[in-house]
A and B are shown apart, each in its own frame.
Chain A
Amino acid sequence: MSSNLSKHCLRTTFLSNIAANHNCPMSFVEYSELIQEGDVVIIFLGHDSMMPIKVESGAQTQTRYGAIRHSTDLIGRRFGSKVTCSKGGWVYVLHPTPELWTVNLPHRTQILYTTDIANITLMLDLKPGSIVCESGTGSGSLSHAILRTIAPNGHLHTVEFHAQRAEKATEEFRDHKVGHLVTVRNQDVCKEGFGVWGVADAVFLDIPSPWEAIIHAKKAFKRRGGRLCSFSPCIEQVQRTCEALLDHGFEEICTLEVLQRVHDVRSVTLPLPDFGPEGGTDKTKIASDPLPEEVPPSTNPSYSSVTCRTATPPREMAGHTGYLTFATKPRG
């Protein structure tokens, strides 16, 4: 499904800027009601099955339920509508959000998922107006979430040393109408830093050797300081990062790990064991039993199981994504 999107992107990157200015087109930082040409919409095909598409009049998108014709099936429709495809099956068309984008974006790197993103956002004190430095940009999963949170008056300075990835990210931000909130720089954060000094409220690092970038992070912060987060999969990386943070005068250094379990809601049926016929004759049993209504379940074979609704944890789940190290850069 991601290859589908990239095909669309390649064809329509430059069309997006022509999209009508009136009637406020969809963006990742502002909800709109109706689908328009140039929008990115998320097609919801069923449980855990989605695909992003870029809306173009005249275009068609194939799904397993048949084709979706953009001009008639999408443009002018309300986000959240049910759309019938050519084979008769139906899908829902959803407004994009950073969270939907995270599970649908074309991977160019390993990405951060919503559970970690949520904690990073809260623990970095991000809010509208925050100035954030990030490296590397990667596939832009976290970047979209940051942009959503800091809009309409914040800014993201993101650094990606891989030229093609940097370019692709720039293109995507423009397509998603958040280009005005972000500056992508193609440079090595460990050598050249973030390209800005004394402006950041928060710094986020997701690079192989974050300890080499701490000095640059320090310089990126506002004089009054701010919050830093570094994401690393290995504990040795965390160890070196914490040492570097301490050396550079960071405070409140704290490392944590968050995992999420998705529970499967379902009905389960537990059979009741058969203890055989009870001792004594039936007559004396019934006569002595103060609660005759309890007799049928144990004697009637049709009551030999109990059904209850429950939620079961997944058989397998993501057991580790990375350690999140947070710190406060004090005024300096």
Chain B
Amino acid sequence: MADSLVDVECRISEGDYVVLKRGDVYKSVQVQTKKKIIFEKQWIFLDAAIGELYGSTFEVDAGGKLGLRKPKNTEDDSTEAKEAGQDNRHIVDDGKSQKLTRDDIESLKGQGMKGQEIIQQLINNSTTFRDKTEFAQEKYIKKKKKKYESKITVLKPTSRILAMMYHGREPGKVCHLRYDTLAQMLTLGNIHAGSKIIVFETCAGLVLGSVMERMGGHGSVIQMYPGGGPVRAGMESFGFPSHFHDTLNEFPLCKVNALLSGTLNVDEKDRDSGKSEEQPAAPSSGGSESQSMEVSTDPAEAKKMEERERLREQRAQEKKVRMEEKRKRLAAAAALLEGRNADGLVIASRFHPCPVLLGLLRFVAPSRPFVVYCQYREPLIECYTKLREQGGAINLKLTDSWLRHYQVLPNRTHPVLLMSGGGGYLLSGITVSADAATSGAPRKTGEPAAKRIKLDD
């Protein structure tokens, strides 16, 4: 009973952010009626998916419409191989083993024949299929299925799926951050509900979204952003409920120095908004002018003027509200940072990590983990060295990880032939109080470095 109630949330609705999956390829889209989407060289419409359950698999028809597929592998037995060869000593590659021509296949497709049936036709018309070994037959079918069958599964987005999608499709957008490295970041950063986490990323919002997923709408996230505004496309793709967004704050990197030196004034209009403030101010002065001229113009013209004036005022008012909103958000983020008691720091950007890390670490409380991602190792070596010189951080570790997938099949188990060459590097550590040692027994003051003490022992 309870499960069926919960199932309401498991249904795809219009406006949802979903991930389409075909084979190992993913694509994140928003469900909209009558909207054409290109996925794997196919036009599709998601209309028919609305109201269906997440995880459902659909078949794409000629018009790009989705048809719900009967659950489970009922069709798999039809292509069961009966005969098979022992080895390939008699198989000759003469390019003539397939009796169907390309045109034949195209016309089969044109007739609207199902992928499954086309594959059966290809098998029937292959002179060598029966001589292939059982394994080779299976491989052949699998390859053809990939080409002619177009099953699309609609999934609910998660960090796992989106991280795999970005790494597979657009690694450049996420600084080549591989999903196992993202996994390390979330764990090493001890990201969990109820904490206050600072995130600086230029990974399309994927890292931000992953942090928010792990926090489950409890606690707060402060996104530090470069330039004009934060990038959040990846985070939007998670389709978080609206209360998650209430926990998200943003703060511009260009105001960090002002905040640190205590010269940031959030009440005063900052230079950016000050400039735009002048524009709405102009019409009001124009307004007083038109008032003085009112007598000389005819009533119709005056009414038009008035109307225009009213619209302009309204727009100015809206802008003012937006500015006020922005100012409030800035003040809120500044207040969160000012306590200098954040519970963690996560950095993954295309910028040099060193100044970012040294600057933002000052907002983190002692005994809290931090983690920095960089596609390259050398900038992290510099971070490591600077942190050792400066102090305030311990347990520094520079790591990278190595990921290997396996094909596991009866008698054909081996590592997958192609593996990722690199998933980037991480520097992690724990903050500590920079101030002098506190103790009940301060015998020696101005204690030298730890090394000397170790020698005493």
Contact = CB atoms under 8 A, between A and B. Distances in A.
B457 A64 contact: yes
A214 B152 CA distance: 27
A297 interface: no
Q: Is the interface of B mostly helix, strand, loop or mixed?
A: mixed
Interface string A46-90: 100000000000000000110001001100011111111111111
B192 A149 contact: yes
A127 interface: yes
A115 B401 contact: yes
Interface stretch (B169-177, B264-272, B307-315, B433-441): B433-441
Contacts of A238: 406, 408, 413
Interface stretch (A161-169, A185-193, A221-229): A221-229
A243 to B, nearest CB: 7
A111 interface: no
Given A31-B195, A128-B216, A258 B433 contact: no
B457 A123 contact: no
Interface stretch (A1-9, A11-19, A249-257, A275-283): A249-257
Given A80-B431, A121-B186, A239-B408, A261 B401 contact: yes
A128 B215 contact: yes
Contacts of A243: 410
Interface in B170-193: 179-180, 182-184, 186-188, 190, 192-193
Interface of B: 3, 6-7, 10, 53-55, 71-72, 158-160, 163, 179-180, 182-184, 186-188, 190, 192-195, 213-218, 341, 343, 365-369, 377, 380-382, 384-385, 394-395, 397-406, 408, 410, 413, 425, 430-433, 435-444, 447, 450, 453-454, 456-457
A46 B454 contact: yes
Contacts of A31: 194-195, 343, 365, 368
Contact of B186 (A72, A122, A128, A330): A122
Interface in A76-123: 77-90, 92-95, 97-99, 114-115, 117-119, 121-123
A29 interface: yes
B53 to A, nearest CB: 6
Q: Which 9 A-B pairs rank lowest in CB-CB distance, beginning with the nearest? A: A80-B366, A128-B216, A80-B367, A84-B439, A72-B440, A118-B187, A122-B183, A79-B367, A89-B453
A263 B213 contact: no
Contacts of B394: 44, 92
24 contacts: A64-B457, A69-B440, A78-B367, A80-B433, A81-B432, A97-B190, A114-B184, A114-B187, A118-B184, A118-B186, A118-B187, A122-B182, A123-B183, A125-B159, A127-B213, A127-B216, A129-B216, A224-B3, A225-B55, A239-B408, A261-B402, A263-B398, A311-B381, A311-B398
A128 B381 CA distance: 34
B104 to A, nearest CB: 34
Given A99-B187, A265-B384, A29 B437 contact: no
Contact of A125 (B10, B158, B182, B377): B158
B369 A262 contact: no
Contacts of B410: 239, 243
Given A121-B187, A122-B159, A33 B365 contact: yes
Interface string A181-222: 000000000000000001000000000000000000000001
Kindly name the residue among B179, B377, B385, B408 whose own CB sees the greatest number of chain A CB atoms within 10 A. B408
Contacts of B369: 97, 99
B145 to A, nearest CB: 15
B323 to A, nearest CB: 35
A85 B394 CA distance: 18
B438 A77 contact: yes
Contact of B400 (A81, A235, A254, A261): A261
Contact of B453 (A90, A118, A122, A222): A90
A122 B189 CA distance: 13
Residue in B187, B343, B435 with the greatest tally of chain A CB atoms within 10 Å: B187
A290 to B, nearest CB: 31
